[in-house]
Structure 1
Amino acid sequence: MGGGIAGLLAARVLTETCDEVVVLERDELPEEPEYRAGVPQGRHVHGLLVRGGELLEGLFPGLREELVTQGAALADAGDMRILNPLGWLATAHTGMPLLSLSRPLLETCIRRRVTAEIVDGVHITGLSFRDGAVDGVLTRDGRVDADLVVDATGRSSKLPVWLATAGITTPEPEVVDSGTGYATRIYTAPQGFPVAYAESLSAPDLPRGVAAMRVEGDRLMVTAQGAAGDHPPRDLDGYQEFLDSLRVPISEMLADAEPLTPVYLFARTASRRNAFEDTSNWPGGLVAVGDAVCAFNPVYGQGITVAAMEALLFRQHEDFSAKGCRAFQRKVAKAAQGTWAMSSNADRSWVETRRGGLLGWYLKKWQAGIVHDPDLFRRFVRVVHMVATPASLLNPVVFRRLAKYSRPGPRPERRPAGSSPR
C-alpha cells in the first residue's frame, strides 16, 4: 500500500523472493517527473543523504549515472556552503558523492526500474482479516488478496484506525512538533551558485533559515524555513521579506535569477513515531515501513535513507506469521532508532526549556568546532549523511579537538553579497 519511495523500495526487494508483488497507489501516477498531491513535500528541497544514495545505487545499479544524465547535480558532500549560528562551516573533501535533484525526478526514475505491478488510482478503505491475520486489502472497487500486506502509505496512514476495527489497539504515537513550516520557489540557477547553500535554524534564537539546491533543468530550488511557528508566507512580497531577513545574502544572490514558479507552502513537519512493535496482538500478514511507522521532520532529509534501510530488512526476514511480523516491526524500529533520537532531540529544543539535554549541549559544542576545523567538519558530515553513526563523534580524539573550539564567540553578521562564503 503506497507507491511513494518507501513502497517502491519495499516492492523492489520483495520481488526478489515473491511470486507476485502489487503496489497500490491512490494518486494517478504521471509518466514524466511531475509533482503529485500524495507527496505535498515534493515541491520543496529534498536532501538525498549520501548513505541513501549508496543504498539506492545498490538496489538499482546505474541509478546515480541515470539521474545525472537527467540533470541532477553531483558534488562532493563536503562542498556544501552552510551558515550555522557561529559562522560558515569549514569545507573539506570527503570523497562522498552528493546528488542534488527534485523529488519527482528521483521517484520517477525509481518507479521505472521497479518490476512489481503498479496500480494507480486505487482508494484503499481498510484491511481484510481472517483468523487473526491480514489476508487482503479492501478498496472502493473490491478487495485484493495478499499473503503479506506492507503499509507504506506515509504520514497519511490509517493503519491504527484499521487495526482498531479488528480489536487491535496500538500505542499512542510519540509526536514532537517544532512548528516548522516551509515556503519554496524555483528560480533559474544563477551562474556559479553552489550545489547546496543553506542557513541552518538553531533554537532558541534563530528560527529562520533557508536551503537552496540546484536541481535538474538548470534550476534552483529555494526553500525558506521557519521554526516555532515563524513560517515564511505564501505571498510574493512576504516571501521576499522573509529572505531579506536572513543572515545569508540569498536575496542579493537571486537578484538576477528568474522566478519560475509561485510560492508553495508546507507545514506538516511534526515528527511522529508509532511503536507498532509494542502491540501485543499484532496480526500476521501485515508490516509497516517508512513514514507510516516513523515520520521525521523533512528538514533533516532522513526519510528516504531510512526507508531504504527498512526495505533491505525484507532480505533478512522470511517469517510473516503474527510472531514474525512483530519481530519485523522490532527491526524497523531499530533501523530508525538512532535517526529518531537525533532529529527529535533537535526538534524538542524548540518546545522544551531543557533545550535538548546533554546531547543538545554536546551538539552546541560541535557548532563551533565544525566552523573552524575541516577534520571535525568531515566527521560531522559523515554522521549527518548516515555514513557513520553518532557514536563516532564520541571519542577522545574528537573531545581534544572540540576543546579548542567550544568557547562561545560572536555571531557572524550578514555577509555582503558577492563576498566569499568562507
Structure 2
Amino acid sequence: MKAVVVGGGIAGLLAARVLSESHEVVVLERDKLSDEAEYRAGVPQGRHVHALLVRGGEIMEGLFPGLYDELVQAGAALIDAGEVRILNPLGWLASTDGTGMRLLSVSRPLLETWIRRRVTAKIVDGVHVTGLSFSGSTVDGVLTKDGRVDADLVVVATGRSSKLPEWLAEAGITTGEPEVVDSRTGYATRIHTAPEGFPALVAESLSAPDTPRGCAVMRIEGDRLMVTAQGSGGDHPPRDPDEYQVFLESLRGPIAELLRETEPLTPIYLFARTASRRNAFEAVENWPGGLVAVGDSVCAFNPVYGQGMTVAALEALLFRRHDDFTAKGCRDFQRKVAKAAQGSWLLSSNADQGWVEGGGKTGPLTRVFGWYMKKWQIAITRDSGLFVRFLRVLHMIDGPASLMNPVVFRRLAKYSRRDPRQERRPAGSNPR
C-alpha cells in the first residue's frame, strides 16, 4: 500500500511517521527544504512563538524516542510546565512546586527539522500539487505541475492555506463553507539575546473584551529569546521598532523592562492570518475513498493557544487504529479527526467570540461557558490545585470536562466571590 502525504509540515511528518509502520510513504512538500533549521515560506507563522503543549510533546517523544534529549542538546529548554510565568488579566497565575509535566521551549524550525530527520518516509521537496486524481469515486493519486503521483491513500496536510475544498469541488464534491471565528489577532516577533537566568517562558495573556494586548517570550536555541507581541480585536503590534517598543511598554507586566537587558538581533516580523477555521469534512456524504485530511487543513486554530501541533499529533495516532480507506472508512476517519479537535475548538473558539466583529455567537451555551471560564480566570491566580487542573486541560492531558467536575464547583464559587481587581506587578518586579 502506497500513501502520499501532501505537505511536509508537522502534521504531514507525524502522519508519515505512523503510516510508515504499515505503508510505503512519500511526502510531497512545495517548499525547498534545508538540512538546517531554517524558516520557510510555507510556514509563515514559523517566525513566531510556537507552544508545543505537553501532550503533543509526549506523543512526539513516543514516536521518536530520544527526541527531547536531541532537542535539548541542540539548545532547546526542557522545563516543568508549572515554571512558566503567566500573567492573566487578574494577576499572575498561582505558583506550584512542580507538576511533573515536561514542557519543551523550542523554535518551530528546530522542532520541524529534527522530526524530519527522524522520519523514514521518502520526502520530495519542490513539488507543487495542483489537484487530485480520481478513478471513479476513489482518489488514486495527486496531480502536480510536472505530472501525476499515484497512491492507494492520499493524506492532505497542507495547512490553513489548503486548497482541498477547491480540489474536491473540481470533482463535483461540495464541502460547504467552513466555520470561522476571527479574533483579528496579529503578531509581531523579534529575536533578542538572552541574559543569563532569564526564564524559559514568560507570557501575558489576552482576554476579551478588555485586554487586547499580550506577549510571549520564549527561550530558544542559540541562547536567544523569541519575543512575540500579540494584539487582538484589530489592535495589532507594529513593525516600526520605536512603535513596537511603545507597544511592549503598554503591557501590564514587566516584559519591556526585562528586555532592556537584551539586544535585538533581527528585524520585526508580522503575522495576522490567525482566524480559527473548521471544515466539517466528516459531514460530506459523497466523500471519496482513498482520501483523508489532517491538521490545519481540517481545523486551524488561533495560534495564540498553541493547540495545532498537539491536535496534529493526536490525529497522527489515529492511523494506527484505522486501516479502512474505502469511502465509508475515510468518512469514519474524518469523524475521528473532528472528535480529536473538538475539545480544543470549544475552548479556543469560545474564548475568541468576544473579539468577533458584531459580537460573534451569543447563544445561552456560549454565554454560560464564557461566564464559567471567567470564574476559572480568577481561581487560577489564587489556588495552586486549580491551577494544576487547568494546566492539565490547557496542555491537553485531560479533556475540558475536567473543568466541569462537580468537585471544583465549591472552590470556584469561593474565589469568584472575592474582589477580582487586576493585580499589576510593580514596575521593578521580576517574574523569575
- TM-score norm. by structure 1 comes to 0.98
**Displacement of 1:55:** 0.4
- Asked if the contact 1:80/1:91 (under 8 Å) is kept, the reply is no
Counterpart in 2 of 1:83? 87
For the pair 1:411 / 2:422, whether they are aligned, the reply is yes
The DSSP-based 3-state class of the residue aligned with 1:268 is coil
**Displacement of 1:357:** 1.2
- Asked if the contact 1:89/1:372 (under 8 Å) is kept, the reply is yes
Q: Spell out the pairing of 1:306-325 with structure 2 (5 A cutoff).
A: 306-325=311-330
Amino acid corresponding to residue 28 of structure 1 in structure 2:
K
Alignment partner of 2:47 out of 40, 43, 47: 43
Name the CA distance, whole Å, in 2 between partners of 1:41 and 1:95. 29
Amino acid corresponding to residue 388 of structure 1 in structure 2:
D
For the pair 1:66 / 2:76, whether they are aligned, the reply is no
- Asked if the contact 2:258/2:430 (under 8 Å) is kept, the reply is no
Alignment partner of 1:23 out of 22, 27, 31: 27
The DSSP-based 3-state class of the residue aligned with 1:212 is strand
The DSSP-based 3-state class of the residue aligned with 1:378 is helix
Counterpart in 1 of 2:188? 183
Name the CA distance, whole Å, in 1 between partners of 2:349 and 2:9. 23
- Asked if the contact 1:190/1:253 (under 8 Å) is kept, the reply is no
Alignment partner of 2:37 out of 26, 29, 33: 33
Alignment partner of 2:101 out of 96, 100, 115: 96
Name the CA distance, whole Å, in 2 between partners of 1:195 and 1:377. 19
When structure 1 is superposed on structure 2, of 204-213 and 343-352 the one drifting more is: 343-352
When structure 1 is superposed on structure 2, of 127-136 and 353-362 the one drifting more is: 353-362
Alignment partner of 2:144 out of 128, 139, 145: 139
Deviations 1:221-253 (A, max 9, x none): 110000000000011111111001001121111
Counterpart in 1 of 2:370? 360
Counterpart in 1 of 2:3? none
Name the CA distance, whole Å, in 1 between partners of 2:409 and 2:344. 22
Q: Spell out the pairing of 1:1-12 with structure 2 (5 A cutoff).
A: 1-12=6-17
Name the CA distance, whole Å, in 1 between partners of 2:355 and 2:161. 24
Deviations 1:262-310 (A, max 9, x none): 0000000000000001111001110000000000000000000000110
The DSSP-based 3-state class of the residue aligned with 1:21 is strand
- Asked if the contact 1:137/1:143 (under 8 Å) is kept, the reply is yes
Counterpart in 2 of 1:111? 116
Alignment partner of 1:274 out of 272, 275, 279: 279
For the pair 1:223 / 2:224, whether they are aligned, the reply is no
For the pair 1:380 / 2:390, whether they are aligned, the reply is yes
Alpha-carbon RMSD across the aligned residues, in angstroms, is: 1.2
- TM-score norm. by structure 2 comes to 0.95
Amino acid corresponding to residue 416 of structure 1 in structure 2:
A
Amino acid corresponding to residue 6 of structure 1 in structure 2:
A
Counterpart in 2 of 1:400? 410
- Asked if the contact 1:88/1:371 (under 8 Å) is kept, the reply is yes
Q: Spell out the pairing of 1:166-181 with structure 2 (5 A cutoff).
A: 166-181=171-186
Q: Residues 396 and 132 from structure 1, CA distance in 2 versus in 1: closer, same or farther, beyond 3 angstroms? A: closer
- Asked if the contact 1:153/1:291 (under 8 Å) is kept, the reply is yes
**Displacement of 1:421:** 3.0
Name the CA distance, whole Å, in 2 between partners of 1:158 and 1:409. 46
Deviations 1:171-200 (A, max 9, x none): 210000000000000101122221110111
- Asked if the contact 1:10/1:314 (under 8 Å) is kept, the reply is yes
For the pair 1:247 / 2:258, whether they are aligned, the reply is no
**Displacement of 1:126:** 0.7
For the pair 1:285 / 2:290, whether they are aligned, the reply is yes
User: Where has structure 1 moved over 3 Å in runs of 4 or more?
Assistant: 353-356
Question: How many residues were matched structurally?
Answer: 420
Deviations 1:352-383 (A, max 9, x none): 27494111111100111110111111111111
- Asked if the contact 2:307/2:344 (under 8 Å) is kept, the reply is yes
Name the CA distance, whole Å, in 2 between partners of 1:48 and 1:179. 23
Amino acid corresponding to residue 53 of structure 1 in structure 2:
G
Counterpart in 2 of 1:304? 309
Name the CA distance, whole Å, in 1 between partners of 2:53 and 2:208. 23
Name the CA distance, whole Å, in 1 between partners of 2:182 and 2:266. 29
Counterpart in 2 of 1:330? 335
Structure 1's unaligned 5+ residue stretches are: none
Identity of aligned residues (%): 75
Name the CA distance, whole Å, in 1 between partners of 2:277 and 2:151. 28
- Asked if the contact 1:190/1:254 (under 8 Å) is kept, the reply is no
Name the CA distance, whole Å, in 2 between partners of 1:339 and 1:29. 30
Structure 2's unaligned 5+ residue stretches are: 1-5
Name the CA distance, whole Å, in 1 between partners of 2:317 and 2:193. 38
The DSSP-based 3-state class of the residue aligned with 1:349 is helix
